[in-house]
C-alpha cells in the first residue's frame, strides 16, 4: 500500500482530530518491500515539518528505529507516532543533553530544524538564525554518527549544506557522497504544476530540476519533459511558479507558516529513496543538491543515483534550451556566493 493510500485510510479514522503542523523520480511505491533495518534520526522532529514528516516515515515501514529529536515536546510526538500500527520503534529525545543519544549510530539523519519563513522573508533572511542551528547539529553529528547520510532541509539550503560540509571537514569526517540538500519539493511542485498545465497524469510526469533551492537558482528543465508541449508563455510562467512556489504557501497562510505539509511529504519521500539505495535497491535516481564540479558552484542539484554509500553517481545535465542555459549562466554566481556565505559563517563562528 502506498503512503498516500495509508494516509487516506488513517485520515478516515482520525478525521475529527486536528494535528499541529510539514527531477527525476523512481516509480516504486513509497512503502516498497525492503526489510526494515535502519536507524533514522529526525532533528527538528517537533516542528511544523518534523511532525508530519516523522509520521510519514513511520508509516513507510522501512525504519527499524525512528529517533526523534528537538529542543522541546519530542517525547510526546514520539509517543503519539509510536501508536501507529507500522513497523519500527520510535523514541523521543529533547534538549541539547539528549542530542547525542538521538543521533548515536544513525544511518540517516534528516534535518528540518530551524525557523520557518514569514511573509516578506526570503530564505536568505533566515540565514543568521538557521546557520547557527545547523552548525551546532553538524558538530554533534560529526561526533555521534559520522558515517550517516545527512539530508539537509533547513533553509537556506544553498548555504546550510556548505556549512554542514565545512563542519564535517573540520572534524575530519566529511564524505561528499553522504551529504545531500533536499530539493525534492521543487521536483514535487514541478510535476504538479506541469501535470495541471498539460492535462497529464501527475504520477507519470518526470521533471528534472537542477541548480539550488531558492528563487531563481531553482531551474526546472521543462524542455525535457516527455510528451509536453509548452508555449513560451507557459515555460516562463511555470518556471517562475516552480521557483517561487514557496511564496504561494507563505502568502496563503497569511503569516501563520510556510510550506510544512508539502515539505514533509518531499522530505519523507527523499529519505525513503536514500534508504532504498542504502538497502541495495538498484536504479534509485533523484535530484539532490550535492558537492560536485558540474559548474563553478561547489554545490549544485542534479539527478543522482542513490546507492549503498549514498550518492553513487552524479548524472549532471545536458541538452538545455536557450532559456534554460540562460538560467544556469545567470545563477551559478549566486550559488557560489551563497556557498561562500556558509563557509564564511563557519570560519568566523
241 is in an annotated binding site: no
Which residues, in sequence order, are CB contacts of 40 under 8 Å at separation 6+?
A: 57, 63, 65, 66, 67, 106, 107, 108, 109, 110, 271, 275
Q: Is 65 a catalytic residue?
A: no
Which residues, in sequence order, are CB contacts of 78 under 8 Å at separation 6+?
A: 45, 68, 90, 91, 92
Q: Within its chain, how far is the Cα of 344 from the centroid?
A: 24
Nearest to 70 by CA among 125, 20, 124: 20
331 is in an annotated binding site: no
180 is in an annotated binding site: no
47 is in an annotated binding site: yes
279 is in an annotated binding site: no
154 is in an annotated binding site: yes
User: Residue 65 — φ and ψ, nearest 5°?
Assistant: -140, 110
Number of H helices and E strands in the chain, helices first, is 11, 11
Question: Distance between CA 15 and CA 33 in Å, rounded?
Answer: 28
**Quick check: 134 and 154 in contact, CB under 8 A?**
yes
338 is in an annotated binding site: no
Question: Distance between CA 40 and CA 17 in Å, rounded?
Answer: 27
To 5 degrees, how large is the angle CA 34–CA 187–CA 196? 115
Q: In the structure grid, which three cell numbers stand for residue 288, read together? A: 539532490
Question: Distance between CA 218 and CA 186 in Å, rounded?
Answer: 7
44 is in an annotated binding site: yes
181 is in an annotated binding site: no
Distances in Å between the Cα of 120 and the Cα atoms of 48, 113, 126, 249, 254 are 19, 21, 11, 12, 11
263 is in an annotated binding site: yes
252 is in an annotated binding site: no
Which residues, in sequence order, are CB contacts of 332 under 8 Å at separation 6+?
A: 295, 296, 297
To 5 degrees, how large is the angle CA 152–CA 157–CA 162? 85
70 is in an annotated binding site: yes
Q: What is the dihedral of CA 299, 49, 117, 130, to 10 degrees?
A: -50
Active-site residue, selected from the candidate residues 83, 213, 265, 315: 213
49 is in an annotated binding site: yes
> At which residue does the C-alpha cell 536514500 appear?
274
Return the H-helix or E-strand segment holding 307: strand 299-307
153 is in an annotated binding site: yes
Binding site feature residues: 44-50, 70, 117, 123, 130, 153-155, 189, 263
Annotation: binding site for NAD(+): 44-50, 70, 130, 153-155, 263
Q: What residue numbers does the annotated binding site for substrate cover?
A: 117, 123, 155, 189
Q: What are the residue numbers of the active site?
A: 213
Amino acid at each position: 500500500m502506498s503512503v498516500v493510500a495509508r494516509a487516506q485510510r488513517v485520515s478516515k479514522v482520525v478525521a475529527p482530530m486536528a494535528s499541529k503542523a510539514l527531477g527525476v523520480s523512481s516509480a516504486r511505491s513509497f512503502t516498497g518491500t525492503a526489510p526494515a533495518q535502519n536507524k533514522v534520526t529526525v532533528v527538528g522532529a517537533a516542528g511544523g515539518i518534523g511532525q508530519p514528516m516523522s509520521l510519514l516515515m513511520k508509516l513507510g515501514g522501512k525504519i527499524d528505529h525512528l529517533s526523534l529529536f528537538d529542543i522541546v515536546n519530542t517525547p510526546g510526538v514520539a509517543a503519539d507516532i509510536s501508536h501507529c500500527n507500522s513497523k519500527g520503534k520510535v523514541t523521543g529525545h529533547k534538549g541539547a543533553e539528549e542530542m547525542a543519544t538521538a543521533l548515536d549510530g544513525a544511518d540517516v539523519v534528516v534535518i528540518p530544524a530551524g525557523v520557518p519563513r514569514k511573509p516578506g522573508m526570503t530564505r536568505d533572511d533566515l540565514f543568521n538564525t538557521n546557520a547557527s542551528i545547523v552548525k551546532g547539529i553538524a558538530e554533534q553529528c560529526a561526533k555521534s554518527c559520522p558515517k550517516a547520510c545527512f539530508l539537509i532541509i533547513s533553509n537556506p539550503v544553498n548555504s546550510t549544506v556548505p556549512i554542514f560540509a565545512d563542519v564535517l571537514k573540520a572534524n575530519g569526517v566529511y564524505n561528499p557522497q553522504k551529504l545531500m540538500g533536499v530539493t525534492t519539493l521543487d521536483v514535487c511542485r514541478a510535476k504538479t504544476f506541469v501535470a495541471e498545465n498539460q492535462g497529464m497524469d501527475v504520477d507519470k510526469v518526470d521533471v528534472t530540476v537542477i541548480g539550488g533551492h531558492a528563487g531563481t537558482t531553482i531551474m526546472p528543465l521543462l524542455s525535457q519533459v516527455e510528451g509536453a508541449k509548452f508555449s513560451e508563455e507557459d515555460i516562463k510562467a511555470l518556471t517562475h511558479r516552480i521557483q517561487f512556489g514557496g511564496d504561494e504557501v507563505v502568502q496563503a497562510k497569511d503569516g501563520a507558516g510556510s510550506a510544512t505539509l508539502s515539505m514533509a511529504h518531499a522530505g519523507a519521500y527523499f529519505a525513503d529513496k536514500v534508504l532504498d539505495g542504502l538497502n541495495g535497491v538498484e536504479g534509485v535516481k533523484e535530484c539532490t543538491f550535492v558537492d560536485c564540479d558540474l559548474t563553478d558552484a561547489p554545490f549544485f542539484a542534479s539527478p543522482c543515483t542513490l546507492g549503498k554509500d549514498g550518492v553513487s553517481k552524479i548524472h549532471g545535465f545536458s541538452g538545455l534550451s536557450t532559456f534554460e542555459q540562460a538560467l544556469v549562466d545567470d545563477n551559478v554566481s549566486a550559488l557560489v556566493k551563497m556557498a561562500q556565505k556558509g563557509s564564511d559563517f563557519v570560519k568566523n563562528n
